[in-house]
Structure formats: C-alpha cells, structure tokens
Structure 1
C-alpha cells in the first residue's frame, strides 16, 4: 500500500542530471511555495513509462496552472534518465532513486518487478504533496502496465488551490 493521504511526506534528496551537471533536488524545497506531484515509474526506456512521462510533459502547463511542480522518479541512474529524457522528449525533471530509498519511504518498492526476474524497482505510483508537506493524493497502480488516474491527480491539485 502506498503512503496514505494525510501522512507527512518523507523528504528526499535525489539527483537529476542537467546541462550544468548533477543537481540535488529536495522535496522540502517546495514546502510553503508550491504543490508537488511525484510520479514513480519502474524503468526508463520502457513503453508505458515513456508514454506516461511524455504525456505529462505535453500537459505541463496545466500542472503549472494548478500551482504544481512535477517530478518523475525512477531507480535508474541520473545519466540514464538524462539520455531517456533527451531521446523521448521528456521535459519534467527526472530524479534518480538508484538506492531505492525513496520508493521504500513512499511504500511503492516493487521486488522483482512483478515476478519478471529483472530486479527491484519502484511500482508505478502518483502522489500529490501539498505546500504543507502532507500527502493529498496517493495511488499505486494495480500493475506496472496501468497508468495513474491523472484526472484524480488534477482534482487533488485543484482542491489545494
């Protein structure tokens, strides 16, 4: 079960790769300033993950108008995530949870990627974190092939306005 609504969101310090080099992103930097959407995806360069983050990238203005910063989180390295973003046209910041600590903290750690035998990842999940640092929306999809309910994510953001 993913972290429950009403829970204080665990802070994290994850790396992203930018043109300037590696940059650390902390969830708490948004507290008091803007809402945050966290999208956990199992693996870079996979079809469903690419479709999801490309779709969100294409509608980023809608999330911004709802006062939200959107981050994708994957267990891949920041260098692999940068290559994926460039190849696929993903424009949201992609954060590397290489040690899987953030997936574990949000209770979306997925052992053995659903029995496929290719390693442990994050499950596909979505969280809305309010400016107060409290989880306002929490969803882990039934399988890694299922997308989050983005209408519900946007509705949760609208309630925080």
Structure 2
C-alpha cells in the first residue's frame, strides 16, 4: 500500500514535549517528516533519531518539522531523548493505530517498521520509504532533505 500522492492520514498523539501533536495542525505552515521506528533504546534507533535530531536546523531551514513515532510511552520517550540528546518530538503510538494507517505496523511483533514519510504543506505524502526489515536504516536525513528541497523548487 503506497500513500504517495495521497492526503496523509491525520492523527493526534501524545508527545515527549508534553503536548499532544496533531498532524493537520502543520498544514499550510510546514512540511512534516514522519520517522517511524521500532523501539526506544534499541541500537539502530539510537543512531537514527539522534541523526535526525542533529539535522533539525537543516530541516527547519527547509521549512519542515521532524516527528518520531513508535509504540513506546511518553515516559520512555522522555528518558531516551534525555539520554541521547534527541530534540525532535517523539510521539507515542502505543496501540499502533497510526502505524497501521501508514501501513507500517508489524502487529505480530507489536512494533512499527522503520519508515520515513515526507508530507508537504498541503498535507499530501510526497515521499515514502519503508525499510525491508526493522533493523535496516538506509534512508539518512540528507536524502530526506534532498527530497524536501526538491519539493520547494
């Protein structure tokens, strides 16, 4: 199931920032990069999310906000973010409903797969990449930034 060219499924989830985040609240303002990842404190995720967080200024300059999403609780997100210096909001999709809407839930394992979705300012999915397995991390922040810059030209 591809969401490319489709309106992004809307959602509201609790965030590590202490507030709930609603996807559609960014419409007309910013592009959104959704980064689905399996688990806080796991080795690959502990590389991926700090990389995205470290490029946050670049994403901001490109007119986008980065949101991390997985099934861990807000409490786990806060602890992980503090330990790894992650500054992007981490959203708690504890029942995997949002992961299911985006076609990335791995229900038999109770996690989401690793995936990136780029949603333009109008709320349309313009880029998506779902890793073949949750342990893979092939799409780096720079590649997503390139996609984002291409949207603006």
Q: What is the TM-score when the length of structure 1 is the normalising length?
A: 0.89
Is residue 88 of structure 2 the alignment partner of residue 92 of structure 1? yes
Moved over 4 A (4+): none
Q: What is the TM-score when the length of structure 2 is the normalising length?
A: 0.94
2:130 maps to: 140
| Matched ranges for 1:7-156 at <5 A | 7-18=6-17, 22-112=18-108, 119-150=109-140, 151-156=142-147
Cα distance, 1:4 vs structure 2: 2.3
- Unaligned 5+ segments in structure 1 are 113-118
Give the aligned length.
151
- Unaligned 5+ segments in structure 2 are none
Q: CA RMSD in A?
A: 1.2
In 2, Cα distance between the equivalents of 1:135 and 1:155?
Answer: 15
Cα distance, 1:148 vs structure 2: 4.2
Q: Could you report, residue by residue, the CA deviation over 1:76-101 in whole angstroms, capped at 9, with x for unpaired residues? A: 01111111100111111000000111
- Counterpart contact for 1:34–1:68, Cα < 8 Å: yes
Q: Secondary structure at the match of 1:160?
A: helix
In 1, Cα distance between the equivalents of 2:3 and 2:12?
Answer: 21
